[in-house]
Structure 1
Amino acid sequence: MELTVTTILIAFVGVFLICFMKGAFGGGFSIVGIPLLSFVMDPVTAGGLLAPLFIAMDLFALRYWKPSTWSKPDLVLLLPGLVAGIGCGYLLFRVLDHRAVAIVMALTTLIFVVLWLAAGSEVTIRPRSSPKAVAAGLASGVTTMVAHSGGPPLAMYLLPLGLRKEIYAGTTSLFFTVGNTTKALPWLLLAKPTGNVWIVMAVCLLAIPVGVWLGWRLHGKLDQRQIYRACYGLLVVTSLKLLWDGISGYMA
C-alpha cells in the first residue's frame, strides 16, 4: 500500500465513520465505512488494518455500553456460535466464494427488512429462541471473518426481541468486542501489515475517541422508534453494499 496524504485521510474518515456507528448503535455496521477504504487499498489489506483497530474501538465503546446494557441471556446463546463461526470462516477463507456469501447474506437481509415493512414498520415482539440465537451467532461469525459484515445476522435475531435501545446497543457492542478480539489474530495471519499499514493504523487511532463519543451522543437524542428505524435503514444500506460487492465481483 502506497503511503500518501490521500490514503491517510480516506482511511481516517472510514475509521471515524465506523467508530460513529459503534457509538450510536453498538456495532455491527462496520461495512458502512469500509467502502471508503476500498478506494486506497485492497480488501485484504483493509482487513489487516482494521483488525487491531476494531479492538481499540470496542474497548473505548465499552466505556459507554456498560454491563448494565448487556442482555446476558442472549449473549450466552450467541457467543459460542460467534466464536465457532469465526473459526469456520478462517478455515474456509481461502476456499469460500466471497461473492456468493455476500449475495446470499444481502438477499436474506433484504427479505427480512421487506417483511418488517410489510408489517407496518413495527417491531413484532418474538420470544427468545436458542436455535435462532445459535444460528445467528454462527452466521455472524462466518460473515464477520470473511467480509467484516457480521451485523445483519445478529440484527435479524436481536431486533424482533424488542429490546430497549440501550440494551440493543450494549448487547451488540459486547458481541462484537468478543468477535473482533477473536478474529484479530486470524486476520493478522492472513494479512500481515506492512510498515505503511502500521503508520496509517496509528493515525487512525486518533479517530476513535471522538467518533465513538459523537455516535453515543446521537444515540441519546434518538427515541426507541427512531433507533430501530435507523437500524433497519442501515441494514438496507449494508445489504445493498454486500449485493453490489457480490454481483460486481462476478462481473469483473
Structure 2
Amino acid sequence: MTFPLITDPFFYAVAVPAVLLLGVSKSGFGAGFGSLAVPMMALAVTVPQAAAILMPVLLLMDLLGMAAFRKDFDLKLLKFLVPCGLVGTLIGALLFSLLDGKVVAGIVGFFTLLFLAQRLLFPPRPDSPPPPKWLGALLTATSGFTSFVAHAGGPPISAYVIPLRLSPLKFTATLAFFFFVINLSKWIPYAWLGLLDLRNMATSLVLLPLAPVGVWAGVRMARRIGQVLFYRVLYGGMFLTGCKLLWDGLR
C-alpha cells in the first residue's frame, strides 16, 4: 500500500518557502505576498492541488493571526467586506470547473500591476476621498472569487483597502479576519469538488508546523514596522505577485 503523501523533494523545495512566505504575508502585510504561494507550489503540482493542500495551513494561520490581532481590526469595515467576499466565493465555486486557473491568475496579475501603475503615476493626495463603495464591493467580490480559485484574493481587496490609509496593524488585522471567513467558506465547496482527498490532506499536515513560524515572524514585523515602510513593502509584494501571476497566465 502506497503511503498517501507527496514525496517529491522538488515539491517541498518550493512548498516550504511558499508556506513561510504565506504566513509572514498574512500576519504581517495583509496578504501582500500571500498570493505567490499557489503559483510557487504550482511549479511542482497543479493549481487546484496546491490550493487544496494549503487549506488546513490557511485555517491555522488565520486562527493564529486573529488571536494576535484580536483588538486591532476595523469592525465597521469588516461588516462591509465579508458579505461581498462571500458572493465572490460562491461565484468561484459555481464556475470552478469551467475556469482555467492560469487564465484567472493572469487576469489578477494584470489588474494588480495596473493598480500599482495608477498609484505610481497618479499618487493620491492626502485629502483625496476614499474609493466609492460600489468599487469596494466589486473588488472585494473579485477577491473572494480569486481566493477560491487560486488563493489569490490579496491583490484585489488590497486595491480597495490601501487607499483607506489604515494603520499597518488595523490593515493587517482587518484582512486577517476577512480571509478567515473567506477561507472557512471554501471548505465545503472544496470537498464537494473532490479536492480534499487523503493525499492532499496528508501532505498539508507535513507543512502545518511551518504555519506558526511564518505567522510569528509576520506579527513581529507588523508591530514594529512604520507606516511608510509598511506600504512600500506591501507595494513590493503586490508587484512581485502581479508579475508572477501575469507570467503564469501568459504561459
Instruction: Give the structure-2-normalised TM-score.
Output: 0.89
Counterpart Cα distance in 2 of 1:2 and 1:215: 28
Let me know the Cα RMSD of the aligned residues: 2.2
For the pair 1:102 / 2:131, whether they are aligned, the reply is no
3-state DSSP class of the match of 2:7?
coil
- Closer, same or farther in 2 for the Cα pair 1:28/1:114, shift >3 Å? closer
* 1:90 equivalent in structure 2: 93
Counterpart Cα distance in 1 of 2:15 and 2:184: 21
* 1:146 equivalent in structure 2: 149
The correspondence for 1:233, drawn from 216, 233, 236, is 236
Asked if the contact 1:112–1:156 (Cα under 8 Å) also holds between the matched residues in 2, the reply is yes
Q: Which runs of 5+ in 2 are unaligned?
A: none
The correspondence for 2:52, drawn from 44, 48, 51, is 48
Q: Using the TM superposition, give the Cα deviation of residue 43 of structure 1 relative to its aligned residue in structure 2, in angstroms.
A: 1.3
Counterpart Cα distance in 2 of 1:230 and 1:182: 29
3-state DSSP class of the match of 1:94?
helix
Asked if the contact 2:32–2:237 (Cα under 8 Å) also holds between the matched residues in 1, the reply is no
Asked if the contact 1:3–1:196 (Cα under 8 Å) also holds between the matched residues in 2, the reply is no
Asked if the contact 1:113–1:236 (Cα under 8 Å) also holds between the matched residues in 2, the reply is yes
Aligned positions, number:
247
- Closer, same or farther in 2 for the Cα pair 1:35/1:100, shift >3 Å? closer
Counterpart Cα distance in 2 of 1:64 and 1:123: 30
Q: Using the TM superposition, give the Cα deviation of residue 127 of structure 1 relative to its aligned residue in structure 2, in angstroms.
A: 2.7
Identity of aligned residues (%): 30
Asked if the contact 1:141–1:150 (Cα under 8 Å) also holds between the matched residues in 2, the reply is yes
Counterpart Cα distance in 2 of 1:212 and 1:17: 9
Counterpart Cα distance in 2 of 1:85 and 1:50: 19
Q: Which runs of 5+ in 1 are unaligned?
A: none
Runs of 4+ in 1 over 6 A off after TM superposition: 121-124
* 2:191 equivalent in structure 1: 188
Q: How does 1:1-252 map to 2 (within 5 A)?
A: 2-27=6-31, 29-66=33-70, 68-120=71-123, 125-127=128-130, 129-248=132-251
- Closer, same or farther in 2 for the Cα pair 1:99/1:9, shift >3 Å? closer
- Closer, same or farther in 2 for the Cα pair 1:201/1:102, shift >3 Å? closer
Instruction: Give the structure-1-normalised TM-score.
Output: 0.89
